[in-house]
A and B are shown apart, each in its own frame.
Chain A
Amino acid sequence: MKPDRHILHVDMDAFFAAVEQRDHPELRGKPVLVGGDPKGRGVVSTASYEARPFGCGSAMPMAQAVRLCPDAIIVRPSMTRYSEASAQVFSIFEHYTPKVEPLSIDEAFLDVTGSTRLLGPAEKIARELKQRIQEETQLTASIGVASNKFLAKLASDQEKPDGLVVVQSDAILAFLDPLPVSRLWGVGKATLPKLERLGVQTFADLRRHAKEELRQHFGDTGERFYRLVRGIDDRDVITDRQAKSISHEVTFSVDVNDEDHLRRVLLHHTEGVARRLRRHGRVARTVSIKVRTSNFATVTRSLTLTEGTDETDTLWRSASTLFQPWWSKHELAVRLIGMAASNLTESRDEQLALFDATDDRRDTRQLDQAVDEIRNRYGNGAIERGTAMTPDEK
């Protein structure tokens, strides 16, 4: 085990709904459901905390949520404002540590080990961070503080919303033991019934099983379970600068089989990934997409370019080239879609190109720069690619 690390897991509370309540005062204190159309196949993306006691949650068809909570106010998501708030929160992180690993739009790991000498104990840093997020964005975050990623993530979830939970090194087992085993990283719909058949309901139950036995039942995953229930997790916080790949993915609360919607999400991912590449002065040669279908089969497709790139356009053309044949062949309902850039190097010399390049490519570069600048100054929502807009935004 690595000694004395201080890891924060920061998770924004009911993020989409909270942004809506912040921007629309009339929604404050009321049950809000952010998501699709209740008449169609729309689903709930986020339910505000006021809607949750009614049983509304983010893995639920909107129609069902409305039946549970008829007074709920339904709001269509506006990704641009959420990305803007997200950028604000992430820039606050950078005041506390350069070691930030973004997990999604509203969630990140921070390794503050190196910052404690200057800024004080991790708990104090977490408290300040929460306060600063609240002051600057009028949003609340829940933070878990622990000696590794696994524990920090469990801790942040412990007292949501607006929580701060510190797992002290001498209280790890006391913290873990009562937790239901479904909270264990890697336990899903397939493993849970298997664990229940073994009579395992809590972390404490699982800890009573020998390593060999878990290995027998679950292979390598079993060995990981053995370590995790003891609070052992050596994974580093990987920043974009060190990352071997940069990826964005999203798991839909309900399977999506609308091609336009999937393409739009994939483009959003691509833009996010490209921007992270450019921010860190890196170029990618390999582009991958990942698709998980409703039957939990996961497909990845990737291609390698002759030249590394950080251009949104080139990355999008590649991602789209990978997605199209898969979609036209299968047209399956999709549970998760993601895009990754890997094979990363620092961009230095720039190879000029013969055809589109001479003119088009220079334009692309200027366009990317201009978009980045606008977004850095005014937030992600300030400017949008035509193809990324939903029809009613155009």
Chain B
Amino acid sequence: MKLRFNRTEASDVLSAICSVAGQRTTKDILKCVRLEARPDVLMLSATDLELSLRCAVAQVEVEAPGDSLVVADTLARIVRECGDELLSIETTKNLLEVRGVGSHFQIVTQDVETFPAVPTMEGEPDVTIEYGALLRLVELSAFAAAHESTRYAINGVLWEIEGPRLVLAATDGRRLAVARGELAGDGLTEQKSAIVPSKTLALLGRLPVDKDTRVGIQLAENQLLLSLGRANISSSLVEGRFPKYQDVIPNDCDRELQLNTAEFHSALKRAALLTNEESKGVRFAFSEGTLTLSSRAPEQGEATIALPVDFQGTELEIGFNPQFLLDVLRVVHADEVTLAFKAENRPGVIRLGEAYTYVVMPVNLASA
């Protein structure tokens, strides 16, 4: 194998590869990237056996095709640290040599044959969606997933193909994010759903793929396959039953107001300054024309922030963990959001039109 490539191009692909190739795995083979040089393309692949990525590097000149297998992190760091515009790679018996101006690296290669097969999509995708639209759905939902819940199903994000839409839903048991996006082509008549691991969603955000790329989605048995132009992803699915999230989206909220996202975000950040692990709730006191946020951290102090809002009706106090709201305000990218609720022990809802619903359960504030 012998080739020259554009360093920045390859570096982008390698950093995505490294988010798949295991760093903490005990199986050395899973720390590796497989290089496949074909007449006019270089394909890189990595897998942790649950998530696989195969991605083409653009701007390559292949002199001699061939395959090689090296530790991904080592190659990625070499490519990142070299200042050259172009680098060349050549393999000898069991070494892979990288050359730039003044630098020469020799990395030990592994046996290519031992690398696990990386599944790719066969046949047509079930549906397609623009990469930019998919990224937006991921951004709006993935943060709400649980991390180490003993209910495994909620450590992933639910993908539902429903008619002409793709819906992503995530929850950690205290808040729920539901993002709905339009598919690019035809929808499906049957409904399909799967729980996708968070690691897979994180990878989606790191791909060197243009926003207008059409993403093909195929839900096969126990597996999600994605084709994104130059990149192909296959991911195992999370087993288990995702909670019936529709049931907890309240439809009886009788108080609703429009909030300026930036002002609300800033006020909430200030109120959150005086919360801590022991006393994590911020008190939301709604009165005619004003929302007063207050917090109190034992032995530290307290905060009161008043925000003029368009609120009418009887006064109400409700507690929320500010982090759950800050999380969502950071990703909505809209001038205004709708906040709706009913009572101090009932869920609050943040909405962005029809496309996004975020439900958050309140905190029972310790009576101070």
Contact = CB atoms under 8 A, between A and B. Distances in A.
A354 B175 contact: yes
B361 interface: yes
A321 B152 CA distance: 10
Interface size class of A (residues with CB under 8 A): 20 to 34
A356 B172 CA distance: 12
Interface string B160-172: 0000000000011
A353 B174 contact: yes
A19 B93 CA distance: 76
A350 B148 contact: no
Given A350-B364, A352-B345, A357 B278 contact: no
A304 B150 CA distance: 10
A303 B148 contact: yes
B327 to A, nearest CB: 13
Contacts of A303: 148, 150
Range of interface residues on B (Cβ < 8 Å): 20 to 34
A349 to B, nearest CB: 4
A317 B171 CA distance: 19
A303 B359 CA distance: 26
Interface string A308-339: 10000000011001000000000000000000
B321 A355 contact: no
B99 interface: no
Contact of A348 (B171, B243, B278): B278
Contacts of B277: 308, 345
A346 B278 contact: yes
A309 to B, nearest CB: 11
A306 B148 CA distance: 8
A351 B275 CA distance: 14
A355 B298 CA distance: 30
A317 B279 CA distance: 25
B364 A357 contact: no
B149 interface: yes
Given A306-B174, A349-B364, A349-B366, A354 B248 contact: yes
B174 A351 contact: yes
A349 B149 contact: no
Contacts of B359: 354
A349 B243 contact: no
A362 to B, nearest CB: 10
Contacts of A305: 148
Contact of A345 (B171, B278, B362): B278
Nearest to A320: B150
A351 B363 contact: yes
A392 interface: no
Interface string B61-96: 000000000000000000000000000000000000
Interface in A294-311: 303-308
A355 B150 contact: no
A355 B149 CA distance: 14
Contacts of A308: 277
B147 A349 contact: no
Main secondary structure of the interface of A (DSSP, over half): mixed
A357 B359 CA distance: 14
Contacts of B171: 354-355
B319 interface: yes
B347 interface: yes
A355 B187 CA distance: 30
Contacts of B321: 351
B361 A351 contact: yes
Nearest to B319: A349
Nearest to B321: A351
B278 A352 contact: no
Nearest to B283: A349
Nearest to B281: A349
Interface in B295-323: 298, 319, 321
B149 A306 contact: yes
Interface string B250-292: 0000000000000000000000000001111100000000000
Interface in A107-121: none
A351 B321 CA distance: 8
B361 A353 contact: yes
Nearest to A355: B243
B173 A353 contact: yes
Given A306-B147, A349-B364, A355 B278 contact: no
Q: Which residue, A321, A346, A350, A355, has most C-beta atoms of chain B within 10 A?
A: A355
Nearest to B280: A349
Among A303, A306, A318, max chain B CB count under 10 A is at: A306
A349 B361 contact: no
A356 B150 CA distance: 13
Given A306-B172, A306-B174, A350 B147 contact: no
Given A354-B175, A354-B248, A306 B146 contact: yes
Nearest to B282: A349
B176 interface: yes
B248 A348 contact: no
Contacts of A321: 150
Nearest to B247: A355
A299 to B, nearest CB: 16
B118 interface: no
A341 to B, nearest CB: 15
A355 B363 contact: no
A353 B173 CA distance: 6
A354 B347 contact: yes
B365 interface: yes
B340 to A, nearest CB: 16
A384 B121 CA distance: 54
Contacts of B172: 306
Contacts of A304: 148
A277 B293 CA distance: 31
15 contacts: A305-B148, A306-B146, A306-B148, A307-B174, A348-B278, A348-B279, A348-B298, A349-B319, A350-B364, A351-B361, A353-B173, A354-B171, A354-B175, A357-B173, A357-B174
Interface of B: 146-150, 171-176, 243, 248, 277-281, 298, 319, 321, 345, 347, 359, 361-366
Given A349-B281, A357-B361, 11 more contacts: A303-B148, A305-B148, A307-B174, A317-B150, A347-B278, A349-B280, A351-B280, A352-B363, A354-B173, A354-B243, A354-B361
Interface of A: 303-308, 317-318, 321, 345-358
The 4 A-B residue pairs with the shortest CB-CB distance in the complex, in nearest-first order: A348-B366, A349-B281, A350-B364, A352-B361
